Structure 1
Amino acid sequence: MPASRNLLAILVVVLVAALAVTGYSLYQEKKRPEGVEINLGKNGLSIEKK
């Protein structure tokens, strides 16, 4: 019985961690500025619409 309880606790921790990583990823994606990004690098001028 204690082994199954430990397994359940580990499963809950893994699910909470996955939820936290997903939430952080979505936050980072939403935080990006919208508009046009202009870069000048080795390959020349790059214009990217966001």
Structure 2
Amino acid sequence: MNRNGLYAVIAILLVAVVGFGIYTYQQQSRPGIEVRVDDGGLSINGNN
């Protein structure tokens, strides 16, 4: 594999890692609610 091909593979992997990081961050910071029913009753919590 020549040097340009190696650089292309590294660039593609870097873009994939950055894209996955952005996707994960957006999923974690997404507003939502959690509803639980247990022995203590009904509990509703927002994740923000």
Q: TM-score range by the shorter chain?
A: 0.5 to 0.7
Partner residue in 1 for 2:44: none
Q: Over aligned residues, Cα RMSD in angstroms?
A: 1.6
Q: CA deviation at 1:18?
A: 0.3
Amino acid at match of 2:18: A
Q: Which runs of 5+ in 2 are unaligned?
A: 35-48
Q: Which runs of 5+ in 1 are unaligned?
A: 37-50
Query: What TM-score do you get using the length of structure 2 for normalisation?
Result: 0.63
* Count of aligned residue pairs for this structure pair: 34
Partner residue in 1 for 2:27: 29
The runs of 4+ residues in structure 1 deviating greater than 4 Å are none
Query: What TM-score do you get using the length of structure 1 for normalisation?
Result: 0.61
Aligned counterparts of 2:3 and 2:15: Cα–Cα separation in 1: 18
Bigger fraction of residues in helix: 1
Partner residue in 2 for 1:7: 5
